[in-house]
Amino acid sequence: MAKGKDTKPHIGIFGRRNNGKSSLINALAGQELAIVSDVAGTTTDPVKKSMEIPGIGPVILIDTAGIDDAGELGAKRVAKTREILRIIDFAVLVISENTFGESEHDLIGEFEEKNVPFLIVHNKSDLFPADTSFLSELNAKFRVPVLDFSSTLHPDTDKLVAAIRQQIPESAYIAPPMLGDLISPGDVVLLITPIDMEAPEGRMILPQVQAIRDTLDHGGINVVCKETEVDHLIGILHPKPVLAVTDSQVFPRADAAIPKDVMLTSFSILLARQRGDFQNYLKGTPRIDNLKDGDRILILESCTHHVSCDDIGREKIPRWLGNYTGKKLEYEVVPGLSRLPRDIREYAMVIQCGGCVITRKQIINRLKPAVDAGIPVTNYGMAIAWVHGIYKRAIQPFKSTIAGLEDNV
């Protein structure tokens, strides 16, 4: 399950079967959004609920299967529940009957490993009054709020919402600018947007739309054209743009057309800085030069999409890499947030797409196994810039905003 295009904070609700996870969601929402039953295991797969919670705002709550689910099918449900940790910004662990065991300890270990902030809710207090010393022990051990709660009998949702709001990181709400810190109000930004087979009918691709909106949000002026019009436009445009942003696949053409005193980068590189693992991309991209015959390259797409005959990730990047390196390389493409087909250590490099439909947390978590294993990582735009010899120019706009970038420029 991907966080997808919905970038609202994602809050996962975890706990054993029949601890009242779905009832807690309904209490927070103030309506019957989740199916509630006395039968343990009613929720079998993670289910996303989009809602507005007073005091928090628009969020996505994810109802999950019980972490104590049994049997072969139950183990698969638990595995799906744990996969949710890759995409959430915050977790609520629901316990009941003053019970806290190995399942809860293991889950909190995963929260901490994946840097997911959390709190603990002792639910069904109307049926099973909480042992205050037990709750105090949990609070002291994990140093997070531990709340006594009843989802059905006068639920104190204000207290729960306040605790969530206090614990959830601001980064879940505030996205860094895509290009806003590179321009000043009134600056002209030139966006070069090819209309080809990968462009959706009657629309623009999402990174282009995001760049237009971010420019407007920061007082800039958008000038949008196809790559075929750049030469003409540069000759007549006044004032001159302070920044040009191009689709990566026409990078060489844009580099030739845009004057050297105008900053130039790509939509994919803007996304790499905004929501990717930019520092590790900077380290990993130059290692394209170290690739050898037979090396396996993992290409990570963040969404499922119609694959054209000249798809940038599946066709163009492999072709450009092969031409640049002169090596016979193997490629595997993994779409969405699917599991990898093999151990990460079997790859020589990982190339992540721009990630326009997922969050920085998802991308960081997705790339973490490679980073931990010392496998170089890069992204579409940065890899394309490297093989076309315009990498230094493409990352130059970020020199003043990224610590340590001087070493890479």
For the chain, the three-class secondary structure string (H helix, E strand, C coil) is CCCCCCCCCEEEEEECCCCCHHHHHHHHHCCCCCCCCCCCCCCCCCEEEEEEECCCEEEEEEECCCCCCCHHHHHHHHHHHHHHHHCCCEEEEEEECCCCCHHHHHHHHHHHHCCCCEEEEEECCCCCCCCHHHHHHHHHHHCCCEEECCCCCCCCHHHHHHHHHHHCCHHHCCCCCCCHHHCCCCCEEEEECCCCCCCCCCCCCHHHHHHHHHHHHCCCEEEEECHHHHHHHHHHCCCCCCEEEECHHHHHHHHHHCCCCCEEEEHHHHHHHHHCCHHHHHHHHHHHHHCCCCCEEEEECCCCCCCCCCCHHHHHHHHHHHHHHCCCCEEEEECCCCCCCCCHHHCCEEEECCCCCCCHHHHHHHHHHHHHCCCCEEEHHHHHHHHCCCHHHHHHHHCCCCCCHHHHC
Instruction: Report the pLDDT value the prediction gives residue 44, as an integer from 0 to 100.
Output: 47
Cα 37 from Cα 16, distance rounded (Å): 14
When pLDDT is cut at 50, 70 and 90, the band that residue 199 belongs to is low
Give the pLDDT confidence of 342-370 residue by residue, as tens digits: 999 999 999 999 887 777 778 888 899 99
State the residue for tokens 């779409």. Answer: 335
Q: How many CB atoms sit inside 10 A of residue 143's CB?
A: 7
Task: Check residues 51 and 269 and name the one with the higher pLDDT.
Answer: 269
Q: What are the distances in angstroms from CA 183 to CA 186, 230, 251, 342, 390?
A: 8, 20, 21, 43, 21
- Are 297 and 284 in contact by the 8 Å Cβ rule? The answer is no
Give the pLDDT confidence of 86-112 residue by residue, as tens digits: 888 899 999 999 999 999 999 999 999
The answer to whether the bond into 177 is cis (omega within 30° of 0) is no
CATH number of 180-271, picked from 3.40.50.11420, 3.40.50.300, 3.40.640.10, 3.50.50.60: 3.40.50.11420
Residue 291: is its pLDDT beyond 50?
Answer: yes
Cα 103 from Cα 286, distance rounded (Å): 43
CATH number of 277-391: 3.40.50.11410
Cα 211 from Cα 209, distance rounded (Å): 5
Q: In the predicted model, what is the mean pLDDT of residues 23-36?
A: 69
- As given in the structure block, the two tokens for residue 276 are 């990717």
Phi-psi region of 210 (alpha: psi -120 to 50; beta: other; left: phi over 0): alpha
Cα 56 from Cα 41, distance rounded (Å): 29
Cα 226 from Cα 285, distance rounded (Å): 28
Give the CATH fold of the 10-172 domain.
Answer: Rossmann fold (3.40.50)
Phi and psi of 147, rounded to 5°? -110, 140
Q: In the predicted model, what is the mean pLDDT of residues 3-31?
A: 79
Residue 146: is its pLDDT beyond 60?
Answer: yes
Residue 33: is its pLDDT beyond 70?
Answer: no
Q: What are the distances in angstroms from CA 50 to CA 57, 142, 389?
A: 11, 29, 45
Q: Do domains 10-172 and 180-271 have the same CATH topology?
A: yes
State the residue for tokens 């939509």. Answer: 267
Q: In the predicted model, what is the mean pLDDT of residues 55-64?
A: 84
Cα 296 from Cα 231, distance rounded (Å): 39
Q: In the predicted model, what is the mean pLDDT of residues 246-260?
A: 93
State the residue for tokens 């959430």. Answer: 88
Q: Which segment of 60-74, 122-136, 181-195 scores lowest on mean pLDDT?
A: 60-74
What ranges do the domains of the chain cover?
Answer: 10-172, 180-271, 277-391
Residue 290: is its pLDDT beyond 90?
Answer: yes
Q: In the predicted model, what is the mean pLDDT of residues 18-40?
A: 70
